[in-house]
Amino acid sequence: MIDPRQILHDVFGFPSFREGQEEIVRAVLAGEDVLAVMPTGAGKSLCYQLPTLARQGLTLVVSPLIALMRDQVAALRHFGIEAGSLNSANDAEENRRVAEAVREGRMRLLYASPERLANTGAPEWLARAGVNLLAIDEAHCVSQWGHDFRPEYALLGDVRRRLGGVQTIALTATADVATRSDIVERLFEGEPRLFIHGFDRPNLRLAMQAKENTRRQLFSFLDKHRHESGIVYCSSRDSTEKLADALSQAGYRALPYHAGMAQAERARNQDMFLQEDGIVMVATVAFGMGIDKPDVRFVAHAALPKSIEAYYQEIGRAGRDGEAADTLTLYGLDDMRLRRLQIEESESSDEQKRVERQRLNALVALCEAPRCRRQTLLAYFGESAEPCGNCDLCIDGVMSFDGTVEAQKLLSAIVRTGERFGTEHLISILVGEETEAVRRFGHAQLRTFGVGADRSKAEWRSLLRQIYAAGLVSLELTEYGRWTLTEKGVAVLKGQERIELRSDVLMKPRERRRRRA
């Protein structure tokens, strides 16, 4: 076996491995099955190409896109490596070249589409030719929970068996747990070695704030980024136009972007954003797919994104050049309810909805995270990290207190009203406000009525978000969204468990600054 570093240097011309690559290469060379999760551009291909060259034999690479296969084959041949592909776009000449190189044992990397393998006798033929590694690119395509599900991918487990149970490496950029377990279940015999690397984007500053005054919070963030290019994501078409107008009036070069605009206008705004400096794109999530502008200096969310994956994708559009970039995400209970509603009202299957709910809950938990945001975010992707020093929680610190009594007040208000009410009604009860609904239901007679009068409604909203993020309550969707207790909530209510909550988020920003000073 040739030393991997030697090949890295001599064949690929790279001075060093990128994060994660060397460990994966070594695991493959040790004969292990591998699932490698790394973001796009992190260098996944090398993780099977290099081991192929370090030993004998043929690697079969499954890839869903013909264009991608062609690029890879061309690049490998450029490095002097025998490579080819089996796909419907090949001419007879190319097919002959490929078949001959496989037969003579010269072929090192053979690319094929999943349908080409699943629906023909190719696996048996290739097994005889001696495939000793199966590499499955874009492996998340086996999962129904992704956006890229391809039924042919589900047949690849069978292809692997037809190849004689050959050693397998699956690669994907999609890291969430549901997708990962689908990949393992459908493509592997036992548990593969799992590698997750490269999700951290240390140059992105992370910050999230509960909405107090959305406009003011956004303007104060943008004021730090005058004359820089950036994106502000809004949750509706209408709000993008309004905010773009307001920003223009405040002297920014701001443009709206959403799917409801005329095609020509949308294209023009996008081109301006790409070609000129200092434009603020005020957009719905329709903006950003496939947009590669390296010097986007900030991304702000005027409302909570759809899921933790969406959050990661969207902030990831900033700072592609590796230079410092800033992010801010604003969130409120209304956003959380809206997002839940969108999930429940979608056409998805129950199973799919369950997964989407988890992804949203993970984001809610990130909003109210008690420690470094980056640690919390990376933990979701399965990567561990030290406190980053580049997020609001690391920089400003968090102040926490034993919030068991506060939590119990909320939980008890929920239980005593029969787990049938939404946020505002519960908070009215706690602060002792005699609203029309409170009178109608006779809730002023409850023992919890007024027990939270020492705190403002805004504080109770934050406390409710926090106990939601901590998994003490869940949100059932009715018109107003009703709160119910989880098992953990019951344990806290009974005093069997205690809970730490954050006190800094309960203060007004000015007070917060004063306390810290």
Binding residues vs ligand ADP (CB under 6 A): 14, 17-18, 21, 38, 40-46
> Considering beta carbons, is residue 160 or 373 the nearer one to Zn ion?
373
> Considering beta carbons, is residue 29 or 446 the nearer one to ligand ADP?
29
Helix H or strand E segment including 136: strand 131-136
Taking the complex as a whole, how short is the minimal distance between the CB of residue 41 and ligand ADP, in angstroms?
5
- State the binding partner of 239 from Zn ion, ligand ADP, none, CB within 5 to 8 A by kind: none
Taking the complex as a whole, how short is the minimal distance between the CB of residue 38 and ligand ADP, in angstroms?
5
Tell me the backbone φ, ψ of residue 96, rounded to 5 degrees: -65, -45
**CB neighbour burial string for 321-340, b if at least 16 within 10 angstroms, e if fewer:** eeeebbbbbbbbbebbbbbb
> Considering beta carbons, is residue 44 or 205 the nearer one to ligand ADP?
44
Supply the DSSP symbol for 257. E
Closest to 207 measured CA to CA, from 336, 358, 315, 283: 315
> Considering beta carbons, is residue 47 or 110 the nearer one to ligand ADP?
47
Supply the DSSP symbol for 32. -
Q: Which CA distances in Å does 161 have to 111, 139, 165, 243, 478?
A: 18, 17, 4, 56, 48
- State the binding partner of 374 from ligand ADP, Zn ion, none, CB within 5 to 8 A by kind: Zn ion
Taking the complex as a whole, how short is the minimal distance between the CB of residue 26 and ligand ADP, in angstroms?
14
- State the binding partner of 18 from Zn ion, ligand ADP, none, CB within 5 to 8 A by kind: ligand ADP
Spatial distance between the Cα atoms of 82 and 80, rounded to a whole number of angstroms: 7
- State the binding partner of 201 from Zn ion, ligand ADP, none, CB within 5 to 8 A by kind: none
Taking the complex as a whole, how short is the minimal distance between the CB of residue 60 and ligand ADP, in angstroms?
17
- State the binding partner of 43 from ligand ADP, Zn ion, none, CB within 5 to 8 A by kind: ligand ADP
> Considering beta carbons, is residue 24 or 411 the nearer one to ligand ADP?
24
Assigned token pair, 476: 């059932």
Burial class for 349, CB neighbours closer than 10 Å (0-12, 13-18, 19+) = exposed
Taking the complex as a whole, how short is the minimal distance between the CB of residue 303 and ligand ADP, in angstroms?
30
Taking the complex as a whole, how short is the minimal distance between the CB of residue 319 and ligand ADP, in angstroms?
18
Spatial distance between the Cα atoms of 39 and 320, rounded to a whole number of angstroms: 13
Strands 400-402 and 253-257: unpaired
Taking the complex as a whole, how short is the minimal distance between the CB of residue 43 and ligand ADP, in angstroms?
3
Query: In 40-110, which residue ranges form alpha helices assigned H by DSSP?
Result: 46-54, 66-78, 92-103
Q: Which stretch binds Zn ion (CB under 5 A): 15-23, 250-258, 387-395, 477-485?
A: 387-395
Spatial distance between the Cα atoms of 414 and 155, rounded to a whole number of angstroms: 48
Taking the complex as a whole, how short is the minimal distance between the CB of residue 372 and Zn ion, in angstroms?
3
Taking the complex as a whole, how short is the minimal distance between the CB of residue 18 and ligand ADP, in angstroms?
4
Q: CA angle at residue 263 from 262 to 266, to 5 degrees?
A: 85
Task: State which residue has the least CB distance to ligand ADP.
Answer: 43
Spatial distance between the Cα atoms of 123 and 350, rounded to a whole number of angstroms: 36
- State the binding partner of 418 from ligand ADP, Zn ion, none, CB within 5 to 8 A by kind: none
> Considering beta carbons, is residue 350 or 386 the nearer one to Zn ion?
386
- State the binding partner of 388 from ligand ADP, Zn ion, none, CB within 5 to 8 A by kind: Zn ion
- State the binding partner of 281 from Zn ion, ligand ADP, none, CB within 5 to 8 A by kind: none
- State the binding partner of 163 from Zn ion, ligand ADP, none, CB within 5 to 8 A by kind: none
- State the binding partner of 372 from Zn ion, ligand ADP, none, CB within 5 to 8 A by kind: Zn ion
CB atoms within 10 A of CB 440: 8
- State the binding partner of 41 from ligand ADP, Zn ion, none, CB within 5 to 8 A by kind: ligand ADP
Instruction: Using DSSP, state whether 208 is helix, strand or coil.
Output: strand
Q: Is the dihedral of CA 185, 189, 194, 199 positive or negative?
A: negative
Taking the complex as a whole, how short is the minimal distance between the CB of residue 400 and Zn ion, in angstroms?
16
Q: Is 388 a residue that touches Zn ion (CB under 5 A)?
A: yes
> Considering beta carbons, is residue 12 or 219 the nearer one to ligand ADP?
12
Spatial distance between the Cα atoms of 73 and 504, rounded to a whole number of angstroms: 55
Q: How many residues bind Zn ion (CB under 5 A)?
A: 5
Assigned token pair, 14: 């790279």
Taking the complex as a whole, how short is the minimal distance between the CB of residue 395 and Zn ion, in angstroms?
8
Q: Is 377 a residue that touches Zn ion (CB under 5 A)?
A: no
Q: Is 372 a residue that touches Zn ion (CB under 5 A)?
A: yes
Spatial distance between the Cα atoms of 266 and 260, rounded to a whole number of angstroms: 9
Q: Which of 339, 374, 461, 502 forms a contact with Zn ion (CB under 5 A)?
A: 374
Query: Maximum Cα–Cα distance for the chain, whole Å?
Result: 88
Q: Is 126 a residue that touches Zn ion (CB under 5 A)?
A: no
Q: Is 211 a residue that touches Zn ion (CB under 5 A)?
A: no
Residue 144 contacts residue 182 (beta carbons within 8 Å) = yes
Strands 482-485 and 473-476: antiparallel
> Considering beta carbons, is residue 42 or 463 the nearer one to ligand ADP?
42
Closest to 56 measured CA to CA, from 34, 79, 29, 83: 29
> Considering beta carbons, is residue 378 or 499 the nearer one to ligand ADP?
378
Q: Which stretch binds Zn ion (CB under 5 A): 166-174, 279-287, 374-382, 420-428?
A: 374-382
Helix H or strand E segment including 428: helix 423-431
Supply the DSSP symbol for 277. S
Taking the complex as a whole, how short is the minimal distance between the CB of residue 386 and Zn ion, in angstroms?
9
Instruction: Using DSSP, state whether 198 is helix, strand or coil.
Output: coil
Q: Which stretch binds Zn ion (CB under 5 A): 9-17, 133-141, 368-376, 459-467?
A: 368-376
User: Where on the chain is the footprint of Zn ion (CB under 5 A)?
Assistant: 372, 374, 388, 391, 394
